């Protein structure tokens, strides 16, 4: 049985690279990404699992990093917005479709949309896209543009 | 940030989990079982709970089963709502899972977490209450396999140190005619004003509700009224709404009076679809 007490060193696989970090078992993945690894793309918003601005991808599925302990991420492949490299189809689509205003929610939306394409390589029904996008909030209300960006992503060859 | 420390355990077996839980308790240390973590982390962050240890049960194989045999579908307690929904093995439960929280959270929330959490709606219980499901619990005294309805009276009735291992659903229920309706005040992903799951067995409806009262419930009295097809749909819906086990739930999402109004309309629509063979 694994047991972590006090400060422990764990290995996290983030964006294809393995990092050693020193964490408390109660540290959240979001805080470790931002404060220890300098990966500030995942944004703290509600910290309650509601807004989605902290979304990252774990083993191909979106998760809210404010609701995951860093120690739970061991052994999983974590992808943050930095791992998209600025050239992922969804990033290009967001730029082309003006799918942001202030940009605070953007990295969370990008990760949800990227995971959507990972799990559904062919464009799914609108209801599926709607279900996935309802996980994130955009207070600038760029929802229509974001929806267009998703459709554009699916039309763009990988 | 969680503003305090705890010890994190990740046992590999049920026995390891309950033994460490008992050891911590006897040493005066409060512990919680942990799976998806969304509720535990939130409550730790705001200070509602302050466990000295969390016991993450996701590595226990018995809790991760998602398999169907000739008699039953076995659903491990750490199966996520997304896994259950995407498996397509129990469509009615899949519909319930697909309407709890939002999609990203569904990738983390587990069946066991939803059933035993503090949020009152516990909507995964509805299909289980009406499908003759059984539940396997494991604790210091060993394993208990019981009808789900015997240990869930709105919330789980655990013995000290027990955890949910899995739920079993008989195969008849997996392919039975069913309906799932969830009505919210605003967003699709809101908590329910009325959430219901219905299944038909031997031509009769079985039905369970969440959101209407302060806990989920199945009522055989309500079912008897709904199954009396000598009366009109409107009469049956009106009579059923008068048989709630407690006053209709009131909060900022909707008053009790409004929930009753939504309940009657929802039931009437459901019964009309049934009478018109649209289900």
Contact call for B4 and A26, based on CB within 8 A: yes
Is residue A157 pLDDT above 80, yes or no?
no
Mean pLDDT of chain B: 97
Mean pLDDT over residues B86-103, rounded? 98
Residue A122: C-alpha distances to residues A89, A110, A114, A157 (Å): 14, 17, 13, 11
Which chain A residue is nearest to residue B11, measuring alpha carbons?
A1
Give residue B277's pLDDT: 79
Which single residue is written with the structure tokens 């998806």? B36
What is the C-alpha to C-alpha distance for residues B269 and B233, in angstroms, rounded to an integer?
A: 8
Model pLDDT for residues B156-201, shown as the tens digit of each residue: 999 999 999 999 999 999 999 999 999 999 988 999 999 999 999 9
Same domain for B159 and B241: no
Q: What is the DSSP letter of B191?
A: P
Range of the domain at B81: 61-174
* Residue B104 CA, distance from chain mean position: 18
B11 inside 8 A of chain A by CB: yes
Of B9, B104, B187, the CB nearest to A3: B9
Is residue A156 pLDDT above 90, yes or no?
no
- Contact predicate B229/B200, CB 8 Å: no
B44 inside 8 A of chain A by CB: yes
Q: What's the distance, Cα to Cα, between the start and end of chain A in Å? A: 42
What pairing do the DSSP bridges indicate for beta strands B31-34 and B53-56? Answer: parallel
Q: Which residues of B touch A131 (CB under 8 A)?
A: 98, 103
Q: Return the CATH number of A84-155, one of 3.90.226.10, 3.30.70.120, 1.10.150.120, 2.170.190.11.
A: 1.10.150.120
List, in sequence order, every residue forming a beta bridge with A77; answer none if it has no partner: A13
* Residue B54 CA, distance from chain mean position: 22
Give residue B196's pLDDT: 98
Q: What is the ipTM of this complex?
A: 0.97
Contact call for A63 and B82, based on CB within 8 A: no
Residue B68 placed within a domain: yes
Residue B42: both structure tokens together? 């939130």
Q: How many beta-carbon pairs under 8 angstroms link A with B?
A: 91
Residue A131: both structure tokens together? 């279900």
Residue ranges of domains in chain A: 8-83, 84-155
Q: Which residues of B touch A6 (CB under 8 A)?
A: 5
Model pLDDT for residues A81-116, shown as the tens digit of each residue: 999 999 999 999 999 999 999 999 999 999 999 999
C-alpha distance from B211 to closest chain A C-alpha (Å): 20
Give residue B275's pLDDT: 87
A137 inside 8 A of chain B by CB: no
Listed residue (A158, A63, A69, A156) closest to A115, CA to CA: A63
Same domain for B159 and B101: yes
**CATH (domain of B140):** 3.30.465.10
What confidence category does residue B45 fall into, taking pLDDT thresholds of 50, 70 and 90? very high
The residue count for chain A: 158
3-class SS at A90? helix
What are the backbone dihedrals phi and psi of residue B149, each rounded to the nearest 5 degrees, phi first?
A: -65, -20
């Amino acid at each position: 049985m694994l047991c972590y007490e006090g400060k422990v060193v764990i290995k996290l696989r983030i964006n294809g690279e393995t990092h050693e970090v020193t964490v408390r078992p109660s540290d959240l993945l979001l805080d470790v990404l931002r404060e220890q690894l300098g990966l500030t793309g995942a944004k703290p918003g509600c910290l309650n699992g509601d807004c989605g601005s902290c979304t990252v991808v774990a083993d191909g599925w979106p998760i809210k990093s404010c609701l995951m302990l860093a120690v739970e991420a061991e052994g999983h492949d974590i992808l943050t917005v930095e791992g998209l490299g600025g050239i992922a189809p969804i990033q290009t689509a967001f730029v082309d479709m003006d799918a942001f205003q202030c940009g605070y929610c953007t990295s969370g939306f990008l990760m949800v949309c990227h995971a959507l394409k990972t799990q559904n390589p062919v464009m799914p029904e609108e209801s599926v896209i709607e279900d996935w996008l309802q996980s994130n909030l955009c207070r600038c209300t760029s929802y229509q543009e974001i929806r267009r960006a998703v459709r554009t992503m699916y039309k763009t060859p990988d | 940030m969680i503003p305090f420390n705890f010890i994190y355990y990740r046992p590999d077996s049920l026995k390891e989990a309950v033994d460490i839980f008992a050891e911590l308790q006897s040493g005066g240390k409060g512990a919680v079982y942990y799976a998806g973590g969304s509720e535990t982390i939130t409550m730790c962050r705001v200070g509602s709970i302050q466990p000295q240890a969390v016991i993450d049960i996701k590595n226990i194989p018995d809790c991760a089963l998602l398999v169907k045999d000739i008699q039953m579908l076995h659903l491990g307690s750490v199966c996520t709502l997304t896994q259950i929904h995407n498996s397509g093995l129990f469509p009615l439960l899949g519909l319930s899972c697909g309407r709890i929280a939002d999609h990203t959270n569904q990738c983390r929330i587990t069946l066991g977490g939803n059933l035993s959490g503090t949020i009152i709606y516990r909507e995964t219980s509805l299909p289980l209450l009406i499908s003759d499901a059984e539940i396997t619990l494991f604790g210091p005294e060993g394993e208990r396999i019981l009808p789900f309805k015997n240990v869930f009276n709105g919330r789980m009735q655990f013995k000290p140190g027990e955890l949910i291992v899995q739920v079993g659903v008989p195969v008849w229920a997996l392919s039975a005619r069913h309906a799932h309706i969830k009505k919210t005040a605003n967003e699709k992903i809101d908590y329910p004003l009325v959430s219901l799951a219905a299944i038909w067995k031997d031509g009769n409806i079985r039905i369970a509700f969440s959101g209407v009262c302060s806990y989920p419930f199945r009522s055989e009295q309500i079912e008897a009224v709904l199954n009396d097809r000598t009366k009109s749909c409107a009469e049956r819906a009106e009579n059923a709404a008068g048989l709630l086990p407690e006053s209709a739930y009131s909060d900022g999402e909707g008053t009790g009076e409004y929930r009753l109004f939504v309940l009657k309309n929802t039931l009437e629509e459901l019964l009309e679809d049934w009478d018109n063979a649209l289900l």
